[in-house]
Amino acid sequence: MLKAELKSKINQLWDRFWAGGLANPLTAIEQISYLIFIKRLEDMDEINKNRAEARNEKYVSIFKENKNCKWSEFKHFNAEEMLIHVRDTIFPFIKNIKLGEDGEFAKLMHDAIFMIPKPSLLQEAVTMIDELKISPQNYDTLGDMYEYLLSELSSAGKVGQFRTPRHIIRMMVNLVNPKLGDKICDPACGTAGFLVNAYQHILETNTSKDIIKYDESGNPHNLIGDNIIDKKHWKLLRKDTFYGFDFDQTMVRIAAMNMILHGIESPNIKRKDTLSKNFEQKEEYDIVLANPPFTGSIDKSDINDDLKVKTSKTELLFLELFYNLLQIGGKGAVIVPNGVLFGSSNAHKEIRKVLLESCQLEAVISMPSGVFQPYSGVGTAVLVFTKGGKTEKVWFYDMLKDGFSLDQKRNFIDGKGDIPEIIEKFKNKLDSKQSFSVDFEEIKKNEYNLSVSRYKESEDEEIKYEDPQIMIDRILKEEEEISKELKELKKEI
């Protein structure tokens, strides 16, 4: 979470964006993302140069023909010069930059527009970003800024972009435990938070334990992947492991930049409506991680023919899509609104039947409704499943706390809550005060209902009543006092 001083600076910057006519929070964060990307390009170039020298390899700087595009070259310009230079020189440079081998990033950027209208606004934004001191230890600052900008707006819900809290993403990634060689997909990727965290998880499991440092929230740092020796494995990890799709071009660009800044040289991020007829559903992924849009709907005539559940509700269609994208044996960890768990329509029952009878539904983790505050108070759950086979038992966990206050402020408590216990108990599906397992046959009898409250045993607490005589004496005493007060009032009258 952002410190108070930085929040104050972002508020000032946001006020300036608003006054400058950039009222849409996504437009603001996109423009800020461009500037962060420009700054980080120079840092990345220097890191890659040092790595090449250490391996006695030749390295060609991306700034070889454009040295004046380095952040360090223009950040001290006066406001007027800076706007002209960034708009006319640097922005065309990043739109056409050759990253990776396929040039996909340049294709994503072809219709990007530099929209910061005032020299003073650009200079203030550059100064603020320079003060962030973004490095491999605080890459998530961009995500925090994105989250904070949305949380400050009363119209955030109308924007339709609810960023999944990072600690919830990490929990879900831990539950499916992605490994080097897995092909990982998020069909509604937003800013690519799931894909970035999956990459970091793989690096963490391949980094020597004495190198890794953890902060107070349990976030790992110094993830260098020193145990990945083979260059072919690095190439596989950075170019052929992560795939993301989103229907919003702005989000696609932000996601691509986010992944590049985290070390994925050629991000496989594409603009696609994955529920539509224009998306080819291939059974090719080992892991699907997602938090798809809730309570949306799609034109029935545009629904992909591979989706057989008769509904236009996107939360149900996405679940079938996840199933279709996974290979047999592939794992999914996805967030759904609680209505998916107990909805009584034929479509609701049918998709739950698929999860239970064509998959091994491993876990239903009910999350407290405050997890998505301040954007939404909707109740949600995480479903973890493996495609293929049939479910024998479902492990339920009733999460009561997630490490932050569950009101709109979402103040830091410990950043963990029940999450460490969930990850630990999930391994062996252990029972506890908040977790239990239910046989498939019982769930089937209940029309495939997956609501944790349907099966959780309530503990009857013994009610201790006050001694009747004590209650009578107290009431008589109170009546006596009231009578005295009335007499006093009469005397005054």
What distance in Å separates the CA atoms of residue 278 and residue 305, rounded to the nearest whole number? 10
Same domain for 117 and 18? yes
Residues 173, 194: Cα–Cα separation, whole Å: 7
Please state, in angstroms and rounded to a whole number, the distance separating the CA atoms of residues 315 and 275: 11
- Does 473 reside within a domain? no
Which regions of the chain are under pLDDT 70? 1-3, 99-103, 132-162, 217, 295-297, 458-467, 469-471, 473-474, 477-493
Domain that holds residue 74: 1-161
Specify whether 128 is located in the same domain as 194. no
Q: What is the pLDDT of residues 465-486, one digit of tens each?
A: 556 766 676 677 666 666 665 6
Give 184's strand partners. 242, 287
**Same-domain check for residues 225 and 124:** no
Q: Which residue's entry shows tokens 């961009």? A: 142
Residue 301 counted as domain residue: yes
What's the pLDDT score for residue 53?
Answer: 82
Among candidate residues 161, 181, 207, the one where a domain is terminated: 161
> Residue 153's pLDDT is what?
45
Q: Are 241 and 183 in contact (CB under 8 A)?
A: yes
Final residue belonging to a domain, choices 118, 139, 161: 161
Per-residue model confidence as pLDDT tens digits over 398-442: 999 999 999 888 888 988 999 999 999 999 999 999 999 999 999
Query: How far is C-alpha 476 from the chain's CA centre?
Result: 60
**Co-location of 322 and 398 in the same domain:** yes
Residue 472 lies in a domain: no
Whole-model pTM over 0.85: no
Q: Which residues pair with 268 in a beta bridge?
A: 243
Residues 40 and 171 in one domain: no
Q: HSE-up of 87 (CA within 13 Å, CB side)?
A: 14
Assign residue 424 the CATH number of its domain.
3.40.50.150
CATH number at residue 28: 1.20.1260.30
Alpha-carbon distance of 97 to 264, in angstroms, equals: 15
- Quick one: 362 and 414 in the same domain? yes
63 and 127 inside one domain = yes
Asked whether residue 491 is assigned to any structural domain, the reply reads no
Residue 333 sits in the same domain as residue 235: yes
Number of compact structural domains in the chain? 2
Note whether 187 and 163 are within 8 A (CB).
no
Please tell me the predicted confidence (pLDDT) of residue 373: 81
User: Is residue 299 domain-shared with residue 324, that is, in the same domain?
Assistant: yes
Report the pLDDT value the prediction gives residue 155, as an integer from 0 to 100: 41
* Same domain, residue pair 292 and 435: yes
- Using DSSP, state whether 213 is helix, strand or coil: strand
Q: Which of 161, 189, 215 is the last residue of a domain?
A: 161
CA angle, 453 as apex, 442 and 441 as ends, to 5°? 5
Helices (H), ranges, 299-398: 314-325, 339-342, 346-357
